């Protein structure tokens, strides 16, 4: 017996069968550092070595600096070659400390959305502390880029107040969700926000967290994801995100995998019903326009 498939609730532009967003995380300079008042230096590094002493980890600081010095130019060059507009989820402090990179991202027309002010344990904050943290990040990004961020992606776990505070502080969409492959509405007492689910399974962080996970495996997984979601998009609304980090994907031994994925995605975007490659904000705006919020 055949399963009846209901019609899609809405279509992506040009009847694309998939909305694809490339998400570039800009975190370098916002990681834990005792110079910024943290008790310990940043434990997340290429080797997985965590120092439990109140001393600067100069080697890991240089590891993050690599993302700015060499990773960022490589990633921006690939996006420019394929004429792809990405969403840069940025820690506000990272943008403050890398003004030349910030200006370049803005000049190239990419979206910059908020990844918090710096790496702080948001889940431990009181409501007042969390609101101040959100406002500080928003206002800093506005000052650095000339435009307030439309969205938010937390660095660490959220609180029960996070989404409500984002609504109250004027954010359009929230990315701290893994529950679906398409946008949906949430609200607080009738005040809506678009939830833009994120795909952690596509994230290049897996190549740091698991040393045996290779760029070849990451590339195959990303392409398989795109192909499946695109095919399934004939009868359901699908969205895909590919999250990468300057200091991770920007290495010579990994950047080629991003190059191949972007080229493949761009090639498929030229096909009838091929993926719509765009920013998170554009996806959220299209969804909100075609699926009006209602209680």
Of 225, 224, 260, the residue nearest 239 (C-alpha): 225
Number of domains in the chain: 1
Task: Determine, yes or no, domain membership for 7.
Answer: no
pTM over 0.85: yes
Whether the per-residue pLDDT at 275 is higher than 70: the answer is: yes
Q: Which of 67-71, 126-130, 206-210 has the lowest mean pLDDT?
A: 206-210
Q: 3 lies in a domain?
A: no
Question: What residues have CB less than 8 Å from 123, skipping those under 6 apart?
Answer: 156, 157, 158, 159
* The pLDDT value given to residue 46: 72
**Per-residue model confidence (pLDDT) at position 209:** 82
- For residue 4, tell me if it sits in a domain: no
| pLDDT reading at 135 higher than 70 | yes
Distance, in Å, from the CA atom of 218 to the CA atom of 229, rounded to the nearest integer, reads: 16
Residue 223: what pLDDT? 98
Range of the domain at 98: 13-290
Buried/exposed 92-111: b ≥16 CB within 10 Å, e otherwise: bbbbbbbeebbeebbeeebb
What pLDDT sits at residue 2? 61
What are the tokens at 78? 């690939």
Decide: 76 and 26 in contact? Cβ < 8 Å. Answer: no
pLDDT of residue 254 exceeding 90: yes
- Residue 137 lies inside a defined structural domain of this protein: yes
CATH of the domain at 281: 3.20.20.370
Q: What is the mean pLDDT of residues 18-30?
A: 96
174 forms beta bridges with 152, 195
The answer to whether residue 2 is domain-embedded is no
The confidence score (pLDDT) of residue 245 equals 97
pLDDT of residue 62: 87
pLDDT band at 110 (very low <50, low <70, confident <90, very high): very high
In a domain, 1, yes or no: no
- For residue 28, tell me if it sits in a domain: yes
Structural domain contains residue 180: yes
Per-residue model confidence (pLDDT) at position 34: 84
Percent above pLDDT 70 for the chain: 96
């Amino acid at each position: 017996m055949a399963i009846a498939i209901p019609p899609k609730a809405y279509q992506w532009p040009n009847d694309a069968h998939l909305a694809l967003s490339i998400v570039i995380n800009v975190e370098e300079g916002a990681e834990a550092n005792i110079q910024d008042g943290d008790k310990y230096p940043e434990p997340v590094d290429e080797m997985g070595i965590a120092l439990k002493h109140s001393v600067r980890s100069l080697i890991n600081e240089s590891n993050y600096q690599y993302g700015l010095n060499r990773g960022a130019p490589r990633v921006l060059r690939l996006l420019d070659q394929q004429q792809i507009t990405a969403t840069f989820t940025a820690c506000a402090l990272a943008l403050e400390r890398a003004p030349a990179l910030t200006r370049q991202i803005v000049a190239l027309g990419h979206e910059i959305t908020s990844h918090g002010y710096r790496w702080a344990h948001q889940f431990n904050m009181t409501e007042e502390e969390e609101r101040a943290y959100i406002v500080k990040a928003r206002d800093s990004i506005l000052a650095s880029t000339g435009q307030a961020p439309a969205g938010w992606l937390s660095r660490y776990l959220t609180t029960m107040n996070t989404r409500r505070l984002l609504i109250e502080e004027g954010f359009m969409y929230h990315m701290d969700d893994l529950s679906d492959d398409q946008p949906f509405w949430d609200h607080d007492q009738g005040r809506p926000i678009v939830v833009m689910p994120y795909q952690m399974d596509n994230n290049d962080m897996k190549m740091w967290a698991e040393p045996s996970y290779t760029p070849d495996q990451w590339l195959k997984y990303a392409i398989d994801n795109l192909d499946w979601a695109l095919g399934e998009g004939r009868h359901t609304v699908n969205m895909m995100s590919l999250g990468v980090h300057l200091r991770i994907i920007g290495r010579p031994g990994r950047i080629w995998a991003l190059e191949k994925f972007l080229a493949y995605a761009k090639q498929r975007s030229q096909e009838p019903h091929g993926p719509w490659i765009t920013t998170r904000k554009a996806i959220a705006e299209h969804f909100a326009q075609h699926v009006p919020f209602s209680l």
